[in-house]
Chains A and B, each alone.
Chain A
Amino acid sequence: MLFKDFDPLKGKRLEILDAEGNITNPKLEPKIDKETLLKMYKTMTLGRVADIRALQYQRQGRMLTYAPNMGQEAAQVGSMAALDKKDWLSPGFRDLNLMLYRGVPLKQIYLYWYGNEWGNHFEEDMRILPINIIIGSQVAHAAGLAYASKIQKKGEVALAVIGDGGTSHGEFYEGLNFAASYDAPLVVLIQNNQYAISTPRRKATKAETLAQKAVAFGAEGIQVDGNDVLAMYVAMQASAEHARSGKGVVLVEAVTYRMGPHTTSDDPSIYRTKEEEQEWAKKDPIARFKKYLMDKGYWSEEEEAALDEANNNFVKETFEWVEANGAATLEDVFKYTYAEMTPQLTEQYETHKKFLEESEGK
């Protein structure tokens, strides 16, 4: 029903909570318990602080390249909150809040950006694939997860998450088409944050919306206000249910905005205006969600101040832990190429180890 009412070919977009934090579509307001709502809010605020701090650490020369999520917290948390714990996540590289909500410790995600593969070693029950840098590929991986779920009757949905830039990539089309052919339970979330680094969405495709690309796969598509955490929740819940019940693939386009740079190496002032950034700042997903929670009586300014302090302390401690524990070992960089080191690798490892030991001895 939702997909019919919000047909992307008719220019429809799902919105429930507007930029001022008012419910504009009460019929669709999801019934989420207080505990879950607060978990969602706390994840989003922690994600925001972790982003801001990571940028600072990078400026201080303590963190390496980092891709901040600021502005996309609702698209990520709203989606993950609507999924089941057994559902899979096939992420891109700008998906901090998805992982935090699922339960990945921040120290692990920081460890990854600190430059250590152990950051990608998610606990088995997280059901998260390693961070994917080649945009779009994760859709093909998720298609395989979904196919395996289907034929083994596991009832799991696979969620692939990409940006608008990823929709130009071959595996976006190949993966969606592959999964759709078998009605495999795949949901693809596009976080349309308006830019593929510097290239605006409008220059990357002539399609009116990204959601309408679903039509070509015989899939459902829906465009959602990606800064509206409630709309994201509703859209993802319907999408996951649709996919899980064997009805086919769903493509969700979250219209959002990357408030920060592409990565720490990027300077957005080259390709976008201050006015544009200020317009989107008014649509901040966290501000409107906070207002919603306060209107419900679930949240107060006192709690906000305490949370902010706790988040900052936690992030600071976490990063200090990563700095103290983030080094890689020689064994680490050799040991995981194969299940067992090949004779060639063993020889290379032993030779280099000996070389290092002898150099140190001198």
Chain B
Amino acid sequence: MAVLNLVQAINQAIDQKMEDDSRVVVFGEDSGYEGGVFRVTAGLQKKYGEDRVFDTPIAEAAITGSAIGMAVNGLVPVAEIQFDGFIFPGITEIITHMARYRNRSRGRYGLPIVVRFPVGGGIRALEHHSESLESLLGQIPGLKVVMPSTPYAAKGLLISAIEDPDPVIFMEPKRIYRSGKQEVPEEMYRIPLGKAKVVKEGSDVTVVAWGPFVREVEKAAELLKAQGENIDIELIDLRTINPIDEETIINSVKKTGRFVVVQEAVKTYGPGAELIALVNEKAFLHLEAQPTRVTGFDITVPLPRGEHFHFIQPERIAAEIKKVAKF
């Protein structure tokens, strides 16, 4: 089995879907000839030609807006936005039209579109290059929102996203684009959207994370172990921000009675708040401690000299887990 990093796994997923389905087209700023600034689509234009893999003008609203027309007219667009913060000029088309088209037309036009882009911090970049947008995009009716945590998950989730009949926002954690490798099956496989994965079973505290923070929670668990703490963590990789896999989370909390959620996005009105509300609504009588969250702060993502204050370190996660476990 090939050992791939996240970039290679995503590239393989797109490549195999393009091979499998001639309706799939890939486009974005520098996504064609160059293969994107992170080279996620490298080699695809050479293989599938300029009609199906192409560079666009620097016009995010044209990228997201034209994807709508392409999807109506028989294509399956996989559009790339170059960086998380660049989604904003294109978000108008996503929120005002793409997410609503099926409902607006009472089912006449469903839009099988994937909008994929790198998210989150960790590469010491300029402003607008380190944003976590799961809070913002997780609440839009009509969108599905996915963030993979590993190369294996990325391939299976992206294939499902491309095959999904509705628009899917596919957020790629750039800090782990190349930082970890994993065995990834060569054949096409699918990981269902809307299903979380229990990464590690445990009996003391349920910890929910997604994207790069699944690994950060594992690091936190190692830290706790090194400190001599004996806390049996049940770690859940949410995988899909919307729709939420309530069942997996609620079953876990009913077992552990304790709940911590980790999100890099700003604290207020984020998925962490939503998941805590969910736990309160559906597992209240099982709780043995107040459910809590470890989040980014309600600030603009700082430039590199200050970003370490904002981004969540394993130490913060470990401290929160300890607090909740010992309550």
Residues of A whose CB lies within 8 Å of any CB of B are 88, 90, 117-118, 120-122, 124, 129-130, 132, 134, 137, 139-152, 154, 156, 158, 170-171, 174-175, 177-179, 181-182, 332, 335-339, 342-344
Contacts and interface: CB of A to CB of B under 8 A. Distances in A.
Contact of B69 (A117, A148, A342, A343): A148
B62 interface: yes
Contacts of B131: none
Interface in B150-192: 165-166
B61 A174 contact: yes
A86 to B, nearest CB: 11
Nearest to B71: A144
B69 A90 contact: yes
Nearest to B68: A141
A178 B93 CA distance: 15
Contacts of B141: 337
Interface residues on B, range: 35 or more
B314 interface: no
Cβ-closest 10 pairs across A and B? A144-B69, A140-B65, A144-B66, A148-B73, A342-B243, A174-B62, A145-B69, A178-B62, A121-B106, A174-B59
Contacts of A142: 69
A141 B66 contact: yes
Nearest to A338: B166
Residue of A130, A139, A150, A344 with most chain B CB atoms under a 10 A cut-off: A130
Interface of B: 25, 51-52, 54, 56-57, 59, 61-62, 64-75, 77, 89, 92-93, 96-97, 101-110, 141-142, 144, 165-166, 194, 242-244, 246-247
A140 B61 contact: yes
13 contacts: A88-B69, A130-B101, A137-B96, A141-B65, A143-B65, A143-B66, A146-B69, A147-B70, A151-B75, A174-B65, A178-B62, A336-B107, A338-B102
A179 B70 CA distance: 12
B73 A344 contact: no
A222 to B, nearest CB: 23
A142 B108 CA distance: 17
B142 A337 contact: yes
Nearest to B107: A336
Contacts of A178: 56-57, 59, 62, 66
A332 B71 CA distance: 23
Contacts of B57: 174, 177-178, 181
Given A121-B106, A336-B106, A339-B110, A144 B142 contact: no
Contact of A149 (B73, B77, B97, B244): B73
B103 A140 contact: no
A117 B104 contact: yes
A344 B68 contact: no
Nearest to A181: B57
B108 A140 contact: no
Given A177-B62, A336-B103, A344-B246, 7 more contacts: A130-B101, A140-B69, A141-B97, A174-B65, A336-B106, A337-B102, A337-B142
A158 to B, nearest CB: 7
Contacts of A90: 69
A148 to B, nearest CB: 4
Contacts of A174: 57, 59, 61-62, 65
Contact of A140 (B62, B104, B109): B62
State the main secondary structure of chain A at its contact with B: helix
A171 B61 contact: yes
Contacts of B242: 342
Given A171-B93, A178-B59, A344-B243, A88 B65 contact: no
A336 B66 CA distance: 22
A90 B69 CA distance: 9
Nearest to A341: B243
A336 B102 contact: yes
Contacts of A182: 54
B59 A145 contact: no
A147 B166 contact: no
A335 B105 CA distance: 12
Nearest to A131: B104
A142 B72 CA distance: 10
B103 A337 contact: yes
Contacts of A117: 103-106
Nearest to B106: A121
Nearest to A144: B69
B114 to A, nearest CB: 14
Contacts of B64: 140
Contact of B72 (A140, A145, A179, A344): A145
A171 B59 CA distance: 9
Contacts of A122: 105, 108
A137 B62 CA distance: 9
Nearest to A342: B243
B62 to A, nearest CB: 4
B76 to A, nearest CB: 10
A145 to B, nearest CB: 4
Contacts of A148: 69-70, 72-75
A146 B67 CA distance: 11
A344 B244 contact: yes
Given A129-B109, A140-B61, A151 B52 contact: yes
Nearest to A160: B69
A146 B62 CA distance: 13
A130 B69 contact: no
Contact of A124 (B59, B75, B108): B108
A121 B103 CA distance: 10
A342 B140 CA distance: 13
B48 to A, nearest CB: 11
B106 A134 contact: no
A52 to B, nearest CB: 27
Contacts of B110: 339
Contacts of B66: 140-141, 143-144, 147, 175, 178-179
B112 to A, nearest CB: 9
Contacts of A332: 106
